[in-house]
Chain A
Amino acid sequence: METIEQAIKENRAYYCLDCGKCTSVCPISWREPLFSPRTMVEATKLDTNGAVLHDGRLWMCLTCDRCTQICPSDVHFIDFVRDMRILARGASEEGHCSHGATIQTWMRMMADPSLKQNRLDWLTDDLITAEESDTVYFVGCLPHYEALFGKIGAQGVEIAQSAVRILNHLGIEPIVLADERCCGHDLYWEGESDTFRQLAALNTEMLRATGAKRLVTTCAECARTLKMDYDLGMEVMHMSQLLAQNESQLPNSISGKVTYHDPCRLGRHLGVYEQPRQVIAALGLEMAEMAHNRGRAVCCGTSAWTHCGPTAKSIQVERLREACAAGAETLVTTCVKCQIHFRCALDDPHLHDELNIEIKDLTTLVAEAMEVVSANG
């Protein structure tokens, strides 16, 4: 990505009709009147000096893809934003990173080819993995998140352990890489494309070397990135997709009323809406859909650890209120970041009484259900 013109052209921004449908569905625009996808596109087309690159609003977009879905002219707005961010970085701009940029820092560290990691200490003795297998399980940053967000109850390692347990249950002994790198999703969407490419090259080489035919991941963002932004030469699927394929082997062992939050990456980006719902139903749970579901689902409020703030919190609280209003006891999601963001919002002591809901990852939910079965003999 070299020029603004290129970004406009490649992402069909010239086709914008200035109709404003994008802005009308944008959860940021609902709260921040000065932010508008339509205005950004139009401003970029009129701007010849590149001032848009220095406009802080460029970093507010969640790239949730609600706008693109509704656009009658098929303007690829989120890709346009990503490309513009790549250009903005070239102009020494960057978004405001949460958590003191800790997460971006570890991602950059992983881009170093000489880095030697030991990522497998979380594998307990009962979990079976293999050196060679048709299936590779891609863990992603789960253990890192556990370290950073364990204090607000976020699951990380537990998701990974549940994933291997489920795979074993399905008769699969997956390969798990000791030196796997971050998929690079966040850096890519923040415009740090060089680092993303380094991470992608390292991962691609390692994954191809396994000879596996299929990659399973428990993260919606890893799934999107590995499938759409990598060229691995193997099938990439989210755990929910694999589980749906093996619905018959799922235990109908738990009960309760849950709702499902569609992560942007798994839903609008990859079009996976029904498989998680299938799995939830198979486990014996009652589904209480939120008003905004599937393609109309609203993002968890923050993307790529950038530009968190009152707007993000407001989106999260609104989404949690929606889940409560649906009558759900538990909000199930298939993306660890959605889980972290919702838990962070729930951690607000002033909201404890109002928002009485649990947050769970689908993978751990399934593992729990299996646990119930084995406990009952």
Chain B
Amino acid sequence: MKKGALIVGGTLAAVEAALDLAQSGITVTLVEQSPFLGNVGLDWPQDGDRGEHEGTARLLEAVKHPRITLMTNTQVIAVHGRKGSFHVEVERTPRFVDLAKCTACGDCVDVCPIAIPDNGRTRKAIRGAVHGAVPDIFAIEKRGVAPCKATCPGGIHVQGYVALIAEGRFQEALDLIREDIPLAGVLGRVCYHPCEDACRRGTEVDQPVSICALKRFVSDYEVEHHGRPVVESARIDPELGRVAVVGAGPAGLTVAYFLARRGIACQVFEALPVAGGMLAVGIPDYRLPPQVLQREIAAIEELGVTLHLNHPVDAEDWSRLQREYDAIFVGVGAHQPRRLSIPGDDLEGVLPGVDFLRDVNLAGIKGAKPPAVGENVVVIGGGNTAIDSAMVAQRQGAQQVTILYRRSRSEMLANPWEIEEAEEEGVRFHFLASPLRVISDHDHGRIVALECIRNALGEPDQSGRRRPVPIEGSEFTIPCDTLLPAIGQTVSCAFEGLDLDRWGSFRVDPVTLQTNLPNVFAGGDAVIGPASVIESIGDGRRAVESIIRYLRGGDLTQGRTAERTDISSIDYYTPTEPLVRARVQMPHIPPEERRGYEEVALGLTQQQAIAEAERCLSCGVCSECLACVYVCDPAAIDHDQKAERWVMDASAIIWTDAAGPTPPVTRGNIYELHGDDPLVASAVAAQAMADLAAFRQKRPLPRWVPFDSDPRIGVFVCRCGDRIGEVLDIDALVEAGSARPGVFHSQDLPFACQPDGATTIKKAMADHNLNQVVLAACSCCSLDQVCESCTYQRVRCKSNLLSVPFDLMNLPAEFVNIREQCAWAHRDDPALGTAKAKRLIAAAVAKVGLLHPALRAPRKVADLDGRVLVAGGGEAAAICANALRAQNFAVTRSPQLPSAVNGSLGRFSVAQNGAIIETSVVVLAPTDEGESAQIAPRSGLFVCSPIGDAELTGAAVAAKVGAALGSGRVVARHNVAYVDPSRCRACGTCEKVCEHLAIQVGEVDGHPIALVEPLLCQGCGVCAARCPSGAIAAGYSTDKQIEAMLEAILGE
């Protein structure tokens, strides 16, 4: 473990301190809890000297620095240990956007349906950096899974589709629903919608969002506009495996649906003449019109699923399925009615409710005669089947229908709204009564009455409901000619080799739904007993995941749990002023008109749906509608990112305002850094520098790749997804690039700034023996610096290229900005944009083809020793000298300013009291502004200003000295000026204009000539511009190169 500094909180001051430390050779980790640096509750300087663009450039310098590791979305949880060896527990929360991939194009923001009010404006759930904060990579604000989704057994992205509906994006909403479940129209009618019970609008504001009705709305909307469901299909690949599904109920259909969408062939075997299971035969048509179900099943068939109706799976079939299929899903449901087990329950006129409903439903399908009912129908039970049986009996001609339930109304399992509907239609309820005996007409064997007994409620039983206790002597009789018991169903099937539990259901692993046979999976009512559609669908999804893992030979359990997501600790978002609007009321056919089987609930209008969806509180902020995922060209979004925690070591810690209160430590201290003043930042950095002086690392020698052959140029054209590609003709650019002289390879890249882009370039360089690269993307310059218009992506692009084994700066990659300069500037005229890009690429090729000899030389390197002279009578001098001694520098102290300072960083010779002092760095501390004004700036010379706080100034200057001297080595820039001796007239013009004292007239072999000191030259090119005889070339482009570029541009 390298000893290093940890800086907590990404303020501008933190970045300044990080740069000072890193430049002095110290390893720095900078953690910031928000997704962005320089954007954390501190006022960004808007005007004045440190404008936001300069701030951005400084932040990017930190991004670029090899000794600084930046961690956004990361916060310190606890600090253990002591100064010198802190152990810091940190947590990184997900950003949900890949820092290596996002191009900050903003497409995601356009499609994000979540807009959160923010200081008079709104922000989207996915957002980019503001005020020039860094990195300019989008980030998703996600509080956690919303209660609606967390509660849904099918795991539907509820908040997501509600948000899309609120924006009128109905088809997108439906597509999102279909990512999770196949039967949107069915669920929109019959789901028991636990999501609405969990909805925080209901629990915390007024009434829940009418989620189920919204789902029905988008499903109906599609049918209304497209005639039928349109589901995106996949090509079935027989190589992926063959799967048999037994039972075409919601669980089996779900399995078939998802497998088909993954390209896996599925055969579904159904005993009944109709597909849909209980949806088809258990739910009456006025609640779920058969055409709604059948068109959604038809859509599943269109995916390539084959349904075999009237095909019960017998023992012979079962063994055949096991032989011929790679995996089997058993979803046979629970169709066997429980018996009443009272005297007379086998008499004619007693018909289990579930059978009654099935027969009525099948009669409609087959055109057969529906079962007859008498005048007085009694239904036994408190579930949905009981309610449905009662209402259907009424429709089949019964005069009086009574529901007999052994407990009270509040213990009924039926949905409350269904109970209400039944009451509306005139069904009577007889609570707290149990049947004792069926009384028959002995002559005809027909039932005439039912003897019952009244109950009181006792202690709660296993289900948590109060147990009915019969009241002695309370027997009574009610007239009854048709008795419909609806007291539950069990599984009626068994297959050889499959274990059952004691209730007759299939025994499965709760996480994987795998049975005791490894290739057989089971789910739905067949496993959990009679339950809901959405639970069966949820089982289907779970089984699909297992089956796919099984087919691929993967681990079935890895990363999975049967536990529900724990949402108890999520800090959900609540708007400060939630929209005041009552829950929409779904219109129904009036009770008096409900005599047939036409659908009772009428659905929402478009306006109603949007208005209702707008009531959503956006609990999770991000709704996980996945619109950003679909629109993101670089595939940078990952909603599945998880938080991580780890412990990191640090020898010194700097704690900024953006990090909250300083944690206590056992020994030593944590340096606090307040505000955004760079002087303060440096002063604090000086303290950490002293602690870590022993762990400084010497700056590595630059790589040098010699050129020993003619240019072999590769041209790479970035599409930036479609950002460039949708405007410019990339193929034409690639072709034009390959036609230029010296070009041996030309190709496009989807994203040059992603790691893959650099890898592709590296491979092409090796494959085609290239030694020069022209990269047409969004980077503008080929220099080793960032300016105010630079971006995180450009820095990332160059950094990635540096990780390719060549030194960018010694093997120049020439960058051409075809994004802003061509694609965006000429969006209205793509042909012009393409033509311009061709010219720019041609120019870049011409330029690298004439690489200047000076660039072929290795960069100059010089070692620095730690000698520092601190001279002058200023108050800061002693403070600075002490801080420098603490950094182990060899400090010479002189009370007066020197009479002359010659040389520069690493090689000063200073005249002091008649003696000459040799030193690497000079620190001058003038006593007043008069003395200060006489000091001319030069590299390696630092001034402690006499104005301001001397403590602060002295320490800050010590940090700057540390930054200059600490890494022990200076390396010349790659683009230093070059003087042609045959043209230099030694006029001294260059000397006069160079602000860095980097070029001076000297002598070579007795001839006067301008000499460049590469260690001081900044490559700015001012000398080249002013040289009268054209003797100086700025390292990045010679006159010849510029001429060649112009010729290429004009020649195109």
- Taking a contact as CB atoms under 8 Å apart, the answer to whether B987 and A348 are in contact is yes
Q: Which of B984, B992, B1029 has the most CB of A within 10 A?
A: B1029
Task: Confirm or deny: B1030 has a beta carbon within 8 angstroms of a beta carbon on chain A.
Answer: yes
A294 to B392, CA, bound (A): 131
- Contact A310/B1028 with A347-B989, A350-B1001, A350-B1008 known, Cβ cut-off 8 Å: no
Is there a chain B Cβ closer than 8 Å to A98's Cβ?
Answer: yes
By the criterion CB–CB under 8 Å, are A310 and B983 in contact?
yes
Do residues A348 and B988 form an inter-chain contact, with CB atoms below 8 A?
yes
B1009 close to A (CB within 8 Å): yes
B398 at the interface (CB under 8 A from A): no
Known: A96-B983, A348-B1001, A350-B1001. A309 touches B1031 (CB 8 A): yes
Which residues of chain B come closer than 8 Å to A308, judged between CB atoms? 983, 985, 1028-1030
Given the complex of chains A and B, what is the CA–CA distance between A310 and B1001 in angstroms?
Answer: 12
Is A33 part of the binding interface, using a Cβ–Cβ cutoff of 8 Å?
A: no
Tell me, yes or no, whether A345 is within 8 Å of chain B by CB: yes
Check if A99 is an interface residue, CB within 8 A of chain B: yes
Within 8 A of B (CB), among A298-312: 308-310, 312
Interface string of A305-328 (1 = CB under 8 A from B): 000111011000000000000000
B982 touches A310 (CB 8 A): yes
Q: Please report which residues of chain A, range 313-358, place their CB below 8 angstroms from some CB of chain B when the two chains form the complex.
A: 313, 344-345, 347-350
Residues of chain B within 8 A of A350, CB atoms compared? 986, 988, 1001, 1008
**Chain A contacts for B991, CB-based, 8 A:** 349
Given known contacts A98-B1030, A350-B1008, is B983 in contact with A309 (CB within 8 Å)? Answer: yes
A100 CB-CB contact with B under 8 Å: yes
Q: Which B residues are in CB contact (< 8 Å) with A98? A: 1028-1030
Inter-subunit contact B983/A347 (CB<8 Å): no
Kindly state whether residue A172 has any CB partner on chain B within 8 Å.
Answer: no
Q: Mark A72-101, 1 if CB is under 8 A from B, else 0.
A: 000000000000000000000000111110
Q: B344 within 8 Å of A by Cβ?
A: no
Q: What's the least CB distance linking B400 to chain A, in Å?
A: 108
Determine whether the beta carbon of B986 is less than 8 Å from that of A344. no
Residues of chain B contacted by A97 (CB below 8 angstroms):
1030
How far, in Å, is A168 (CB) from chain B's closest CB?
Answer: 36
B978 to chain A, nearest CB (A): 15
Chain B contact-residue range equals 20 to 34
Q: In B364-392, which residues have CB < 8 Å from any A CB?
A: none
Q: How far is the CB of B1022 from chain A (nearest CB, A)?
A: 13
B988 A309 Cβ-Cβ under 8 A: no
Q: 0/1 per residue, B954-992, Cβ < 8 Å to A?
A: 000000000000000000000000000111111111011
Residues A310 and B984 in contact, CB atoms below 8 Å apart: yes
Indicate whether A309 sits within 8 Å of B1008 (C-beta atoms), given known contacts A100-B1030, A347-B987.
Answer: no
Q: In the complex, what residue of chain B is closest to A149 when comparing beta carbons?
A: B1028
A347 to B988, CA, bound (A): 8
Residues A99 and B987 in contact in the complex (CB < 8 Å), given A310-B982, A350-B1001: no
Contact B1029 A309 (CB under 8 A): yes
Q: How far is the CB of B851 from chain A (nearest CB, A)?
A: 20
Q: Which residues of A contact B992 (CB under 8 A)?
A: 349
Interface size on A, residues (CB 8 A): 16
Cα(A100)–Cα(B982), bound, Å: 16
Min CB distance, B180 to chain A, in Å?
A: 68
Least CB separation from B1007: chain A residue: A310
Q: How far is the CB of B1039 from chain A (nearest CB, A)?
A: 8
Question: Restricting to B665-687, which residues have a CB under 8 Å from any CB of A?
Answer: none
CB distance from B168 to the nearest CB of A (A): 60
Docked Cα-Cα span, A313 to B1030, in Å, equals: 14
Q: How far is the CA of A149 from the CA of B836 in the complex (A)?
A: 37
Distance in angstroms from A95 CB to nearest chain B CB is 11
B998-1041 interface (Cβ within 8 A of A): 1001, 1007-1009, 1025, 1028-1031, 1039
Q: In whole angstroms, what is the CA distance A96 to B1025 when docked?
A: 15
Report the separation of the CA atoms of residues A92 and B983 in the bound assembly, to the nearest whole angstrom.
21
Task: Identify which of B986, B1001, B1025 gathers the most chain A CB atoms within 10 Å of its CB.
Answer: B986
Q: For residue A345, which residues in chain B have a CB less than 8 angstroms away from its CB?
A: 985, 987
Measured CB to CB, the closest approach of chain B to A310, in angstroms, equals 6
Proximity string of chain A (95-117) to chain B, C-beta cutoff 8 Å, 1 when within and 0 when not: 01111100000000000000000
Specify which of B983, B984, B1028 lies most central, judged by the most chain A CB atoms within 10 Å of its CB: B1028
Contact partners of A309 in chain B: CB under 8 A: 982-985, 1029, 1031
Residue of B982, B985, B1001 ringed by the most chain A CB atoms within 10 A: B985
Query: Nearest residue in A to B1042 (C-beta to C-beta)?
Result: A100
Q: B988 to chain A: which residues have CB within 8 Å?
A: 347-350
Give A281 Cβ to nearest chain B Cβ, in Å. Answer: 34
Which residues of chain B come closer than 8 Å to A99, judged between CB atoms?
Answer: 1028, 1030
Nearest CB in chain B to that of A148: its residue? B1028
A310 touches B1030 (CB 8 A): no
Contacts of B1030 in A (CB 8 A): 96-100, 308
Considering the chains assembled together, what is the distance between the CA atoms of A96 and B1033 in angstroms? 14
A residues less than 8 Å from B1029 (CB atoms): 96, 98, 308-309, 312
CA distance A40 to B125 in the complex (A): 78
**Which of these, B982, B983, B986, B1025, contacts A348 with CB under 8 Å?**
B986
CA distance A350 to B986 in the complex (A): 9
Chain A residues 267-312 with CB under 8 Å of chain B are 308-310, 312
Residue numbers in A under 8 Å from B987 (CB-CB) = 313, 344-345, 347-348
Which B residues touch A349, using CB under 8 A? Answer: 988, 991-992, 1001
Check B1001 against A313 for contact (C-beta < 8 Å): no
Q: Distance in Å from the Cβ of B138 to the closest Cβ of chain A?
A: 45
The smallest C-beta distance from A170 to any residue of chain B, in angstroms, reads 37
Q: Which residue of A lies closest to B1009 (CB)?
A: A310
The answer for the CA separation of A98 and B983 in the assembled complex, in Å, is 10
Q: Are B989 and A310 in contact (CB under 8 A)?
A: no
Q: Give CA–CA (A312, B981) in the complex, Å.
A: 13
Chain A residues whose C-beta falls within 8 Å of the C-beta of B989 in the assembled complex: 347
Contacts of A348 in B (CB 8 A): 986-988, 1001
A100 to B1028, CA, bound (A): 8
**Residues from chain B with Cβ under 8 Å of A96 in the complex:** 983, 1029-1030
B981, B991, B1009, B1030: residue with the most chain A Cβ atoms closer than 10 Å? B1030
Interface residues of B in 151-193 (CB under 8 A from A): none
Min C-beta distance of B1028 to chain A, whole Å: 5
CA–CA, A309 to B1039, complex, Å?
16
Residues of chain A contacted by B1001 (CB below 8 angstroms): 348-350
Give the distance to chain B from A336, nearest Cβ to Cβ, in Å. Answer: 16
Q: Give Cα A312–Cα B983 distance, bound, in whole angstroms.
A: 9
What residues on A are CB-neighbors of B985 within 8 Å? 308-310, 312-313, 344-345
Residues of B within 8 Å of A310, CB to CB, are 981-986, 1007-1009
Taking CB atoms and an 8 Å cut-off, the chain B residues in 449-478 that contact chain A are: none
Q: Which residue of B lies closest to A316 (CB)?
A: B985
Give the complex CA separation of A349 and B1002 in angstroms: 12
**Which A-chain residue is minimally distant from B1001 (CB atoms)?**
A350
- A97 to B1030: give the CA distance in the assembly, Å: 8
Q: Smallest distance from the beta carbon of B538 to chain A beta carbons, Å?
A: 76
Q: Which residue of B lies closest to A312 (CB)?
A: B985
Q: Once bound together, how far apart are the Cα atoms of A99 and B1031, in whole Å?
A: 10
A313 closest partner in B (C-beta): B985
> Which chain B residue has the least Cβ–Cβ distance from A97?
B1030
Bound Cα distance A308, B983 (Å): 7
- Look across to chain A and name the residue whose beta carbon is closest to the beta carbon of B992: A349
Q: In the assembly, what is the distance between CA of A309 and CA of B982, in Å?
A: 7
Top 6 closest pairs, chain A to chain B, by CB: A313-B985, A308-B1029, A309-B983, A348-B988, A349-B988, A98-B1029
Which residues in A have some Cβ–Cβ distance to B below 8 Å?
A: 96-100, 308-310, 312-313, 344-345, 347-350
Question: What are 21 of the A-B contact pairs (CB < 8 Å)?
Answer: A96-B1029, A96-B1030, A97-B1030, A98-B1028, A100-B1030, A308-B1028, A308-B1029, A308-B1030, A309-B983, A309-B1029, A310-B981, A310-B1009, A312-B985, A344-B985, A344-B987, A345-B987, A347-B988, A347-B989, A349-B988, A349-B992, A350-B1001
Given known contacts A100-B1030, A344-B1028, A348-B1001, what 5 new A-B pairs fall within 8 Å (CB)?
A97-B1030, A98-B1029, A345-B987, A349-B991, A350-B986
